[in-house]
Structure 1
Amino acid sequence: MKYDWILFDADETLFHFDSFGGMQLMFERFGVDFTRDDYNAYQLINKPLWVDYQEGKITADELKHIRFEGWAAKLGVTPFELNSAFLQAMADICTLLPGAKELLDALSGKAKLGIITNGFTELQAIRLERTGLTNYFEHVVISEEVGVAKPDLGIFDYAHQLMGLPCKSRVLMVGDNPHSDVLGGINFGIETCWLNTQGASTPEGIQPNYEVTSLLHLKDTLFA
Protein backbone atom coordinates (compact mmCIF):
# COMPACT_ATOMS: atom_id res chain seq x y z
CA MET A 1 0.00 0.00 0.00
CA LYS A 2 1.45 3.32 -1.10
CA TYR A 3 -0.39 5.31 1.60
CA ASP A 4 -0.30 5.27 5.39
CA TRP A 5 -3.43 7.44 5.59
CA ILE A 6 -6.46 7.80 3.32
CA LEU A 7 -8.81 10.69 4.03
CA PHE A 8 -12.33 10.77 2.65
CA ASP A 9 -14.90 13.47 2.12
CA ALA A 10 -18.34 12.36 3.40
CA ASP A 11 -21.24 13.60 1.22
CA GLU A 12 -21.33 12.04 -2.26
CA THR A 13 -18.00 10.33 -1.53
CA LEU A 14 -19.04 7.77 1.09
CA PHE A 15 -22.72 8.70 1.57
CA HIS A 16 -25.46 9.53 -0.87
CA PHE A 17 -26.69 13.03 -0.10
CA ASP A 18 -30.25 13.14 -1.44
CA SER A 19 -31.14 16.60 -0.15
CA PHE A 20 -34.45 16.75 -2.06
CA GLY A 21 -35.52 13.44 -0.47
CA GLY A 22 -34.44 14.73 2.94
CA MET A 23 -36.37 17.99 2.48
CA GLN A 24 -39.49 16.13 1.36
CA LEU A 25 -39.36 13.87 4.42
CA MET A 26 -38.72 16.77 6.80
CA PHE A 27 -41.57 18.88 5.41
CA GLU A 28 -43.91 15.88 5.35
CA ARG A 29 -43.32 15.68 9.11
CA PHE A 30 -44.43 19.33 9.30
CA GLY A 31 -47.50 18.57 7.18
CA VAL A 32 -46.16 20.34 4.08
CA ASP A 33 -46.11 18.94 0.53
CA PHE A 34 -42.64 20.04 -0.57
CA THR A 35 -42.34 20.15 -4.37
CA ARG A 36 -39.43 20.16 -6.80
CA ASP A 37 -40.20 23.85 -7.46
CA ASP A 38 -39.94 24.53 -3.72
CA TYR A 39 -36.62 22.74 -3.72
CA ASN A 40 -35.29 24.72 -6.67
CA ALA A 41 -36.23 27.96 -4.90
CA TYR A 42 -34.47 26.75 -1.73
CA GLN A 43 -31.33 25.87 -3.67
CA LEU A 44 -31.14 29.41 -5.09
CA ILE A 45 -30.52 30.47 -1.49
CA ASN A 46 -28.65 27.41 -0.23
CA LYS A 47 -26.01 26.91 -2.94
CA PRO A 48 -24.45 30.41 -2.76
CA LEU A 49 -24.39 30.10 1.04
CA TRP A 50 -22.23 26.97 0.79
CA VAL A 51 -19.81 28.80 -1.49
CA ASP A 52 -19.63 31.65 1.04
CA TYR A 53 -19.11 29.13 3.85
CA GLN A 54 -16.27 27.36 2.02
CA GLU A 55 -14.66 30.73 1.32
CA GLY A 56 -14.87 31.67 5.00
CA LYS A 57 -17.32 34.54 4.44
CA ILE A 58 -20.03 33.16 6.73
CA THR A 59 -20.10 30.74 9.68
CA ALA A 60 -21.83 27.37 9.91
CA ASP A 61 -24.46 28.92 12.21
CA GLU A 62 -25.15 31.70 9.72
CA LEU A 63 -25.57 29.17 6.91
CA LYS A 64 -28.02 27.11 8.99
CA HIS A 65 -30.02 30.22 9.91
CA ILE A 66 -30.22 32.00 6.56
CA ARG A 67 -31.13 29.01 4.41
CA PHE A 68 -34.19 28.16 6.50
CA GLU A 69 -35.38 31.56 7.78
CA GLY A 70 -38.14 31.93 5.14
CA TRP A 71 -39.63 28.50 5.77
CA ALA A 72 -39.18 28.85 9.54
CA ALA A 73 -41.27 32.04 9.53
CA LYS A 74 -44.03 30.29 7.55
CA LEU A 75 -44.09 27.31 9.91
CA GLY A 76 -43.71 29.25 13.17
CA VAL A 77 -40.48 27.51 14.22
CA THR A 78 -36.88 28.70 14.45
CA PRO A 79 -34.44 28.20 11.56
CA PHE A 80 -32.28 26.05 13.85
CA GLU A 81 -35.22 23.75 14.64
CA LEU A 82 -35.83 23.37 10.91
CA ASN A 83 -32.13 22.72 10.28
CA SER A 84 -32.10 20.00 12.96
CA ALA A 85 -35.24 18.44 11.49
CA PHE A 86 -33.57 18.41 8.08
CA LEU A 87 -30.41 16.74 9.39
CA GLN A 88 -32.55 14.17 11.22
CA ALA A 89 -34.39 13.41 7.97
CA MET A 90 -31.08 13.11 6.11
CA ALA A 91 -29.87 10.61 8.74
CA ASP A 92 -33.11 8.66 8.33
CA ILE A 93 -32.69 8.26 4.54
CA CYS A 94 -28.90 7.82 4.58
CA THR A 95 -27.38 5.20 2.29
CA LEU A 96 -23.80 4.41 1.29
CA LEU A 97 -22.41 4.92 -2.19
CA PRO A 98 -21.92 1.64 -4.09
CA GLY A 99 -18.64 -0.01 -3.15
CA ALA A 100 -18.07 2.04 0.02
CA LYS A 101 -18.14 -0.92 2.41
CA GLU A 102 -16.04 -3.12 0.09
CA LEU A 103 -13.42 -0.38 -0.25
CA LEU A 104 -13.21 0.24 3.49
CA ASP A 105 -13.02 -3.49 4.21
CA ALA A 106 -10.16 -3.83 1.71
CA LEU A 107 -8.28 -0.87 3.24
CA SER A 108 -8.87 -1.93 6.84
CA GLY A 109 -5.51 -2.86 8.39
CA LYS A 110 -3.61 -1.67 5.30
CA ALA A 111 -3.92 2.09 5.92
CA LYS A 112 -5.38 4.36 8.58
CA LEU A 113 -8.61 6.07 7.53
CA GLY A 114 -10.12 9.45 8.31
CA ILE A 115 -12.88 11.79 7.19
CA ILE A 116 -12.65 15.52 6.51
CA THR A 117 -16.11 16.96 5.89
CA ASN A 118 -17.74 20.36 5.47
CA GLY A 119 -21.02 18.78 6.58
CA PHE A 120 -22.58 19.44 9.97
CA THR A 121 -21.64 17.71 13.23
CA GLU A 122 -25.23 16.74 14.02
CA LEU A 123 -25.36 14.40 11.01
CA GLN A 124 -21.95 12.73 11.04
CA ALA A 125 -21.87 10.38 14.05
CA ILE A 126 -25.44 9.11 13.60
CA ARG A 127 -24.81 8.40 9.92
CA LEU A 128 -21.58 6.51 10.60
CA GLU A 129 -23.33 4.50 13.30
CA ARG A 130 -26.37 3.65 11.18
CA THR A 131 -24.26 2.52 8.24
CA GLY A 132 -21.87 0.53 10.45
CA LEU A 133 -18.82 2.62 9.52
CA THR A 134 -17.90 4.17 12.89
CA ASN A 135 -15.02 1.81 13.68
CA TYR A 136 -13.29 2.18 10.32
CA PHE A 137 -12.16 5.75 10.97
CA GLU A 138 -9.42 6.98 13.29
CA HIS A 139 -10.54 10.60 13.03
CA VAL A 140 -13.60 12.49 11.77
CA VAL A 141 -12.73 16.13 11.19
CA ILE A 142 -15.76 18.41 10.78
CA SER A 143 -15.50 21.98 9.53
CA GLU A 144 -18.19 23.18 11.94
CA GLU A 145 -15.99 22.12 14.87
CA VAL A 146 -12.66 23.29 13.43
CA GLY A 147 -14.00 26.71 12.43
CA VAL A 148 -12.76 26.59 8.83
CA ALA A 149 -14.01 24.60 5.85
CA LYS A 150 -12.29 22.85 2.94
CA PRO A 151 -10.48 24.03 0.83
CA ASP A 152 -8.96 26.19 3.61
CA LEU A 153 -5.55 24.81 4.54
CA GLY A 154 -6.46 25.20 8.21
CA ILE A 155 -8.76 22.16 8.23
CA PHE A 156 -6.16 19.99 6.48
CA ASP A 157 -3.50 21.18 8.93
CA TYR A 158 -5.82 20.39 11.85
CA ALA A 159 -6.35 16.85 10.52
CA HIS A 160 -2.63 16.40 9.86
CA GLN A 161 -1.83 17.33 13.47
CA LEU A 162 -4.45 14.87 14.76
CA MET A 163 -2.92 12.16 12.58
CA GLY A 164 0.48 12.70 14.21
CA LEU A 165 2.10 14.58 11.28
CA PRO A 166 2.63 11.66 8.88
CA CYS A 167 4.75 12.28 5.78
CA LYS A 168 2.47 14.13 3.34
CA SER A 169 3.58 11.92 0.43
CA ARG A 170 1.97 8.99 2.30
CA VAL A 171 -1.45 10.69 2.62
CA LEU A 172 -4.27 10.54 0.03
CA MET A 173 -7.40 12.74 0.03
CA VAL A 174 -10.44 11.30 -1.77
CA GLY A 175 -13.46 13.43 -2.62
CA ASP A 176 -16.11 14.29 -5.18
CA ASN A 177 -15.57 18.06 -5.14
CA PRO A 178 -12.63 19.14 -7.33
CA HIS A 179 -12.35 22.49 -5.54
CA SER A 180 -12.82 21.75 -1.83
CA ASP A 181 -11.40 18.19 -1.79
CA VAL A 182 -8.88 18.01 -4.63
CA LEU A 183 -7.58 21.58 -4.83
CA GLY A 184 -7.62 21.80 -1.03
CA GLY A 185 -5.53 18.63 -0.81
CA ILE A 186 -3.14 19.72 -3.58
CA ASN A 187 -2.56 23.09 -1.92
CA PHE A 188 -1.83 21.34 1.38
CA GLY A 189 0.73 19.13 -0.35
CA ILE A 190 -0.93 15.72 -0.15
CA GLU A 191 -1.91 13.40 -3.00
CA THR A 192 -5.50 13.50 -4.21
CA CYS A 193 -8.13 11.38 -5.90
CA TRP A 194 -11.17 12.88 -7.60
CA LEU A 195 -14.25 10.66 -7.38
CA ASN A 196 -15.94 11.78 -10.60
CA THR A 197 -19.11 9.70 -10.78
CA GLN A 198 -20.84 12.15 -13.14
CA GLY A 199 -18.23 12.19 -15.91
CA ALA A 200 -17.58 15.91 -15.45
CA SER A 201 -14.62 17.57 -17.15
CA THR A 202 -11.67 18.42 -14.94
CA PRO A 203 -11.73 22.10 -13.95
CA GLU A 204 -8.84 24.09 -15.39
CA GLY A 205 -5.76 24.17 -13.20
CA ILE A 206 -6.78 21.21 -11.01
CA GLN A 207 -4.77 18.03 -11.50
CA PRO A 208 -5.59 15.17 -9.12
CA ASN A 209 -3.16 12.26 -8.84
CA TYR A 210 -6.03 9.92 -9.69
CA GLU A 211 -9.48 10.26 -11.19
CA VAL A 212 -11.94 7.40 -10.64
CA THR A 213 -15.57 6.87 -11.60
CA SER A 214 -16.61 4.80 -8.57
CA LEU A 215 -15.36 3.58 -5.21
CA LEU A 216 -14.77 0.12 -6.66
CA HIS A 217 -12.65 1.77 -9.37
CA LEU A 218 -10.68 3.42 -6.55
CA LYS A 219 -10.25 0.05 -4.83
CA ASP A 220 -8.88 -1.46 -8.05
CA THR A 221 -6.57 1.54 -8.52
CA LEU A 222 -5.15 1.40 -4.99
CA PHE A 223 -4.53 -2.34 -5.13
CA ALA A 224 -3.31 -2.50 -8.73
Structure 2
Amino acid sequence: MKYQWILFDADETLFHFNAFEGLRLMFSRYGIDFSPQDFETYQEVNKPLWVDYQDGVISAKELQHIRFQSWAERLNVTTQAMNSAFLDAMADICTPLPGAKTLLDNLKAHCQLGIITNGFTDLQQIRLERNGLQDHFSALIISEQVGVAKPDRRIFEHAFSEMGQPDKAQILMVGDNPHSDILGGLNAGIDTCWLNPEGLPAPEGIQPHFQVASLNELNTLLFA
Protein backbone atom coordinates (compact mmCIF):
# COMPACT_ATOMS: atom_id res chain seq x y z
CA MET A 1 0.00 0.00 0.00
CA LYS A 2 1.60 3.25 -1.18
CA TYR A 3 -0.56 5.56 0.91
CA GLN A 4 -0.60 6.09 4.68
CA TRP A 5 -3.80 8.14 4.43
CA ILE A 6 -6.75 8.02 2.07
CA LEU A 7 -9.22 10.89 2.22
CA PHE A 8 -12.72 10.54 0.79
CA ASP A 9 -15.48 12.88 -0.19
CA ALA A 10 -18.81 11.68 1.26
CA ASP A 11 -21.77 12.39 -1.05
CA GLU A 12 -21.76 10.25 -4.20
CA THR A 13 -18.29 8.98 -3.31
CA LEU A 14 -19.06 6.80 -0.28
CA PHE A 15 -22.81 7.38 0.07
CA HIS A 16 -25.74 7.76 -2.30
CA PHE A 17 -27.13 11.29 -2.12
CA ASN A 18 -30.53 11.37 -3.79
CA ALA A 19 -31.71 14.87 -3.01
CA PHE A 20 -35.05 14.45 -4.79
CA GLU A 21 -35.99 11.38 -2.74
CA GLY A 22 -34.84 13.11 0.44
CA LEU A 23 -36.93 16.17 -0.35
CA ARG A 24 -39.95 14.00 -1.24
CA LEU A 25 -39.68 12.28 2.13
CA MET A 26 -39.17 15.53 3.99
CA PHE A 27 -42.12 17.28 2.31
CA SER A 28 -44.35 14.22 2.80
CA ARG A 29 -43.84 14.78 6.53
CA TYR A 30 -45.26 18.28 5.99
CA GLY A 31 -48.19 16.75 4.09
CA ILE A 32 -46.95 17.92 0.67
CA ASP A 33 -46.51 15.85 -2.50
CA PHE A 34 -43.18 17.18 -3.77
CA SER A 35 -43.11 16.83 -7.56
CA PRO A 36 -40.27 16.61 -10.12
CA GLN A 37 -41.24 20.13 -11.21
CA ASP A 38 -40.91 21.32 -7.61
CA PHE A 39 -37.44 19.76 -7.58
CA GLU A 40 -36.45 21.56 -10.78
CA THR A 41 -37.52 24.86 -9.22
CA TYR A 42 -35.61 24.03 -6.02
CA GLN A 43 -32.46 23.19 -7.99
CA GLU A 44 -32.62 26.51 -9.87
CA VAL A 45 -31.99 28.12 -6.50
CA ASN A 46 -29.89 25.41 -4.84
CA LYS A 47 -27.25 24.69 -7.51
CA PRO A 48 -25.89 28.26 -7.83
CA LEU A 49 -25.80 28.50 -4.03
CA TRP A 50 -23.45 25.51 -3.85
CA VAL A 51 -21.13 27.14 -6.38
CA ASP A 52 -21.13 30.32 -4.28
CA TYR A 53 -20.49 28.26 -1.13
CA GLN A 54 -17.53 26.43 -2.67
CA ASP A 55 -16.19 29.76 -3.93
CA GLY A 56 -16.42 31.27 -0.44
CA VAL A 57 -19.04 33.84 -1.46
CA ILE A 58 -21.68 32.68 1.05
CA SER A 59 -21.60 30.72 4.30
CA ALA A 60 -23.15 27.36 5.10
CA LYS A 61 -25.89 29.06 7.11
CA GLU A 62 -26.71 31.39 4.23
CA LEU A 63 -26.99 28.45 1.83
CA GLN A 64 -29.24 26.56 4.23
CA HIS A 65 -31.45 29.61 4.70
CA ILE A 66 -31.81 30.79 1.11
CA ARG A 67 -32.54 27.39 -0.45
CA PHE A 68 -35.63 26.86 1.72
CA GLN A 69 -36.73 30.49 2.12
CA SER A 70 -39.74 30.42 -0.20
CA TRP A 71 -40.97 27.06 1.10
CA ALA A 72 -40.55 28.15 4.73
CA GLU A 73 -42.70 31.20 4.09
CA ARG A 74 -45.43 29.03 2.47
CA LEU A 75 -45.39 26.53 5.34
CA ASN A 76 -44.98 29.14 8.09
CA VAL A 77 -41.91 27.42 9.54
CA THR A 78 -38.29 28.53 9.87
CA THR A 79 -35.68 27.73 7.24
CA GLN A 80 -33.62 26.21 10.04
CA ALA A 81 -36.44 23.76 10.83
CA MET A 82 -36.75 22.82 7.16
CA ASN A 83 -33.02 22.31 6.75
CA SER A 84 -32.93 20.04 9.80
CA ALA A 85 -35.93 18.10 8.50
CA PHE A 86 -34.21 17.66 5.12
CA LEU A 87 -30.99 16.36 6.68
CA ASP A 88 -33.02 13.99 8.87
CA ALA A 89 -34.76 12.66 5.76
CA MET A 90 -31.45 12.25 3.94
CA ALA A 91 -30.09 10.26 6.88
CA ASP A 92 -33.17 8.04 6.76
CA ILE A 93 -32.67 7.13 3.09
CA CYS A 94 -28.87 7.04 3.07
CA THR A 95 -27.08 3.91 1.80
CA PRO A 96 -23.42 3.33 0.91
CA LEU A 97 -22.38 3.13 -2.73
CA PRO A 98 -21.70 -0.36 -4.11
CA GLY A 99 -18.33 -1.57 -2.89
CA ALA A 100 -17.94 1.11 -0.21
CA LYS A 101 -18.11 -1.15 2.83
CA THR A 102 -15.77 -3.76 1.34
CA LEU A 103 -13.27 -1.09 0.28
CA LEU A 104 -13.26 0.61 3.68
CA ASP A 105 -12.98 -2.71 5.52
CA ASN A 106 -9.98 -3.65 3.37
CA LEU A 107 -8.27 -0.27 3.71
CA LYS A 108 -8.75 0.01 7.45
CA ALA A 109 -6.12 -2.67 8.04
CA HIS A 110 -3.52 -0.97 5.84
CA CYS A 111 -3.83 2.81 6.25
CA GLN A 112 -5.70 5.57 8.01
CA LEU A 113 -8.90 6.94 6.54
CA GLY A 114 -10.51 10.36 6.58
CA ILE A 115 -13.47 12.24 5.14
CA ILE A 116 -13.40 15.81 3.83
CA THR A 117 -16.92 16.92 2.97
CA ASN A 118 -18.70 20.09 1.96
CA GLY A 119 -21.87 18.47 3.28
CA PHE A 120 -23.40 19.64 6.53
CA THR A 121 -22.58 18.53 10.06
CA ASP A 122 -26.00 17.15 11.04
CA LEU A 123 -25.82 14.40 8.41
CA GLN A 124 -22.27 13.15 8.74
CA GLN A 125 -21.92 11.30 12.04
CA ILE A 126 -25.41 9.77 12.00
CA ARG A 127 -24.78 8.45 8.50
CA LEU A 128 -21.54 6.78 9.58
CA GLU A 129 -23.18 5.28 12.65
CA ARG A 130 -26.22 3.92 10.81
CA ASN A 131 -23.97 2.16 8.30
CA GLY A 132 -21.51 0.79 10.86
CA LEU A 133 -18.64 2.93 9.59
CA GLN A 134 -18.02 5.28 12.52
CA ASP A 135 -14.87 3.39 13.61
CA HIS A 136 -13.29 3.36 10.17
CA PHE A 137 -12.28 7.03 10.05
CA SER A 138 -9.53 8.76 11.99
CA ALA A 139 -10.44 12.22 10.66
CA LEU A 140 -13.84 13.75 9.81
CA ILE A 141 -13.40 17.21 8.32
CA ILE A 142 -16.63 19.15 7.63
CA SER A 143 -16.52 22.45 5.78
CA GLU A 144 -19.35 23.91 7.85
CA GLN A 145 -17.17 23.53 10.95
CA VAL A 146 -13.90 24.64 9.36
CA GLY A 147 -15.39 27.74 7.72
CA VAL A 148 -14.02 27.07 4.23
CA ALA A 149 -15.09 24.54 1.60
CA LYS A 150 -13.32 22.42 -0.98
CA PRO A 151 -11.52 23.26 -3.26
CA ASP A 152 -10.00 25.89 -0.90
CA ARG A 153 -6.64 24.50 0.15
CA ARG A 154 -7.23 25.74 3.71
CA ILE A 155 -9.69 22.94 4.43
CA PHE A 156 -7.02 20.47 3.36
CA GLU A 157 -4.39 22.20 5.47
CA HIS A 158 -6.80 21.94 8.42
CA ALA A 159 -7.17 18.24 7.67
CA PHE A 160 -3.41 17.73 7.51
CA SER A 161 -3.10 19.39 10.93
CA GLU A 162 -5.77 17.07 12.35
CA MET A 163 -3.91 14.13 10.77
CA GLY A 164 -0.58 15.03 12.38
CA GLN A 165 1.04 16.52 9.26
CA PRO A 166 1.79 13.29 7.34
CA ASP A 167 4.00 13.30 4.25
CA LYS A 168 1.84 14.66 1.42
CA ALA A 169 3.32 12.06 -0.94
CA GLN A 170 1.54 9.43 1.15
CA ILE A 171 -1.96 10.98 1.00
CA LEU A 172 -4.63 10.22 -1.63
CA MET A 173 -7.85 12.21 -2.10
CA VAL A 174 -10.79 10.31 -3.62
CA GLY A 175 -13.92 12.10 -4.83
CA ASP A 176 -16.60 12.31 -7.51
CA ASN A 177 -16.49 16.08 -8.07
CA PRO A 178 -13.54 17.26 -10.17
CA HIS A 179 -14.10 20.92 -9.27
CA SER A 180 -14.08 20.47 -5.49
CA ASP A 181 -12.46 17.12 -4.68
CA ILE A 182 -9.85 16.76 -7.41
CA LEU A 183 -8.92 20.41 -7.87
CA GLY A 184 -8.87 20.76 -4.09
CA GLY A 185 -6.50 17.84 -3.68
CA LEU A 186 -4.26 19.10 -6.48
CA ASN A 187 -4.16 22.58 -4.92
CA ALA A 188 -3.14 20.99 -1.63
CA GLY A 189 -0.30 19.05 -3.24
CA ILE A 190 -1.60 15.51 -2.82
CA ASP A 191 -2.46 12.67 -5.20
CA THR A 192 -6.05 12.47 -6.40
CA CYS A 193 -8.42 9.81 -7.70
CA TRP A 194 -11.57 10.81 -9.57
CA LEU A 195 -14.53 8.48 -9.11
CA ASN A 196 -16.03 8.93 -12.57
CA PRO A 197 -18.71 6.29 -13.20
CA GLU A 198 -20.02 8.02 -16.32
CA GLY A 199 -16.60 8.23 -17.98
CA LEU A 200 -16.82 12.01 -18.42
CA PRO A 201 -13.85 13.96 -19.79
CA ALA A 202 -11.80 15.79 -17.16
CA PRO A 203 -12.52 19.53 -17.05
CA GLU A 204 -9.85 21.70 -18.62
CA GLY A 205 -6.96 22.28 -16.23
CA ILE A 206 -7.97 19.51 -13.82
CA GLN A 207 -5.95 16.33 -14.25
CA PRO A 208 -6.43 13.63 -11.60
CA HIS A 209 -3.62 11.17 -10.92
CA PHE A 210 -6.07 8.26 -11.22
CA GLN A 211 -9.59 7.66 -12.52
CA VAL A 212 -11.91 4.80 -11.58
CA ALA A 213 -15.47 3.98 -12.60
CA SER A 214 -16.41 2.34 -9.27
CA LEU A 215 -15.23 1.76 -5.72
CA ASN A 216 -14.61 -1.88 -6.62
CA GLU A 217 -12.20 -0.67 -9.30
CA LEU A 218 -10.52 1.57 -6.72
CA ASN A 219 -10.15 -1.44 -4.42
CA THR A 220 -8.37 -3.31 -7.20
CA LEU A 221 -6.16 -0.32 -8.03
CA LEU A 222 -5.02 0.26 -4.45
CA PHE A 223 -4.18 -3.38 -3.79
CA ALA A 224 -2.58 -4.10 -7.18
TM bucket normalised to smaller: over 0.9
In structure 2, the residue matched to 1:117 is: 117
Root-mean-square deviation (Å): 0.5
The equivalent of 2:167 in structure 1 is: 167
Distance in 1 between residues matched to 2:200 and 2:79, nearest whole Å: 34
Give 1:177's aligned amino acid. N
Q: Residue in 1 aligned with 2:78?
A: 78
DSSP-derived class of the 1:113 partner:
strand
- 1:112-146 Cα offsets, whole Å, 9 max, x none, are 00000000000000000001110000010000000
What are the residue-to-residue correspondences of 1:30-179 with 2, within 5 Å?
Answer: 30-179=30-179
Q: What letter matches 1:127 in structure 2?
A: R
**For residues 59-84 of structure 1, what are the alpha-carbon distances to aligned partners after superposition, in whole Å with 9 as ceiling and x for unaligned?**
00000000000000000100110000
d(CA) in 2 for partners of 1:167, 1:68: 42
How far did residue 157 of structure 1 move? 0.2
Moved more, 101-110 or 5-14: 101-110
Distance 1:201 1:24 in 2: 32
Cα distance in 2 between the residues matched to 1:31 and 1:125: 28
SS of structure 1 residue aligned to 2:116 = strand
Matched AA of 1:38: D
* CA–CA distance in structure 1, aligned partners of residues 50 and 190 of structure 2: 24
Distance in 2 (alpha carbons) for counterparts of 1:164 and 1:188: 15
Following the alignment from structure 2 to structure 1, what is the Cα–Cα distance between the partners of residues 8 and 28? 32
3-state SS of paired residue (1:134): coil
After superposition, the C-alpha distances for 1:27-66 in whole angstroms (9 at most, x for unaligned) are 0000000000000000000000000000000000000000
User: How many percent identity over aligned positions?
Assistant: 64
How far did residue 199 of structure 1 move?
A: 1.8
Q: Number of residues paired by the alignment?
A: 224
| 1:209 equivalent in alignment to 2:209 | yes
1:178-204 deviations in Å (ceiling 9; x for gaps): 010001100110000000012211111
Partners of 2:61 and 2:204 in 1: how far apart? Answer: 32
Supply the distance in 2 between the matched residues of 1:69 and 1:206 (Cα, whole angstroms): 35
For 1:28, the equivalent position in structure 2 comes to: 28
- Partner of 2:198, secondary structure, is coil
Q: Distance in 1 between matches of 2:223 and 2:121?
A: 32
In the TM superposition, residue 7 of structure 1 has moved relative to its aligned partner by 0.2
Partner of 2:11: 11
Q: Which runs of 4+ in 1 moved over 6 A?
A: none
Unaligned ranges ≥5, structure 1 = none
- Superposed CA deviations along residues 154-194 of structure 1, whole A, max 9, x for unmatched, are 10000001100000000000000001000110011000000
Give the TM-score, by structure 2 length: 0.99
Question: Which runs of 5 or more residues in structure 2 are unaligned?
Answer: none
Amino acid at match of 1:13: T
| Paired residue secondary structure (2:68) | helix
What one-letter code is carried by the residue in structure 2 that aligns with 1:51?
V
